[in-house]
Amino acid sequence: MKFSEELLRLPTQPATAELVLRLVADPNASTVQLSRAVETDPALAARVIRLANSPYYGAPRRVSNAQHAIVLLGRDTVSGVAASAACSLLSEQADSGPTDFWSHALATGAAASVVATRLGLSPADAFSAGLLHDLGAVLFHRRDAEAFARIQHKKSMSQIVAAEIETFGMTHAQAGAAAMEAWGFPPAFVEAVALHQHGVEEPVFALGRVVQLGEALALDIEPLQGYPGRANLLTLLRSVQLGPNDIEELRADTELILDRLADQLEAA
């Protein structure tokens, strides 16, 4: 099975599916509220954006964030996507993915959106790219959870990369990017996913550097247990013309977004 097909099978979190359905039913709920709810779940966000990029909707340009996708699709369609995803939660086979995946995805999305705002770029695009940057890890986990778990215990990032290639034939970044490309995501988005663990000089599009910095900030705020390496935060800051004095404000703004997202999910 292709990774793009496996992406369709990723489970949606129960709280998110319920919240989206409730917001769709509320005539006073705004598109912004609805998109924020969708974006708390990488699997659901990927489904919505992928559908908006399908030939049926004929978007004049590639759709790269949930808010644009919801406007294009309409609330009824989004409701259908959420309901369909929610039904899959009834299965006892549902698997939420690798340990800490969801929290790290949200933290990276939030941090990337904060960086994008500082740079005058689209925070919605940055949030979506950051949110989905590690979807390849979920695809590997679903294909062979035990093998992927063993890979995560390697002592260095180079060992992890080598083990991913040996076990799955590619890295999780390449797998995620291949799925995104097959689903019609914009080139900048695909590149950001493919190169999120590469050198800061490699991305052609600014979005790639924003996601790299977003992940570094996310790891600074919420370190992953056993994570074998940390990107050089100062180097990443310089790559987008920011500096050490910006770290505290970026961190504070990211934590504020994460607190709001937590409150939103707890209220579901």
What's the rounded Cα separation, in Å, for the pair 214 and 10? 23
Kindly report, residue by residue over 153-206, the tens digit of the pLDDT.
Answer: 888 888 999 999 999 999 999 998 988 887 777 899 899 999 998 988 999 999
Q: Domain boundary at 59, 88, 117, which?
A: 88
What's the rounded Cα separation, in Å, for the pair 65 and 72? 11
Q: What is the pTM of this model?
A: 0.72
Residues 66, 144: one domain? no
Residues 28, 111: one domain? no
- DSSP string covering 29-76, please? --HHHHHHHHTT-HHHHHHHHHHHTSGGG--SS---SHHHHHHHH-HH
Residues 71, 117: one domain? no
Residue 201 lies in a domain: yes
**Rounded to 5°, angle at Cα 183 from 257 and 133:** 35
Q: Domain boundary at 60, 88, 116, which?
A: 88
The Cβ of residue 166 has, within 10 Å, a number of other Cβ atoms equal to 10
- DSSP string covering 190-241, please? HHHHHTTTS-TTS-SSHHHHHHHHHHHHHHHHSPPTT------HHHHHHHTT
Write out the chain's pLDDT in tens, 268 residues: 565 566 555 555 656 766 777 777 677 888 888 888 888 787 788 888 888 887 766 677 788 888 888 888 887 777 767 765 655 443 334 455 676 777 888 889 889 989 999 999 988 788 878 888 988 888 898 889 899 989 988 888 889 999 999 999 999 999 989 888 877 778 998 999 999 989 889 999 999 999 999 999 999 888 887 677 667 888 999 999 999 999 999 999 999 888 876 765 555 4
Residue 95 lies in a domain: no
Residues 257, 197: one domain? yes
Residues 116, 237: one domain? yes
**At residue 197, what are phi and psi to the nearest 5 degrees?**
-110, 10
Residues 82, 105: one domain? no
Residue 250 lies in a domain: yes
Count of domains observed in the chain: 2
Residues recorded for the chain: 268
In our burial notation (b when 16+ CB lie closer than 10 A, e otherwise), range 181-190 reads bebbbbebbb
Domain CATH number, residue 243? 1.10.3210.10
Residue 96 lies in a domain: no
Domain coverage including residue 191: 101-266
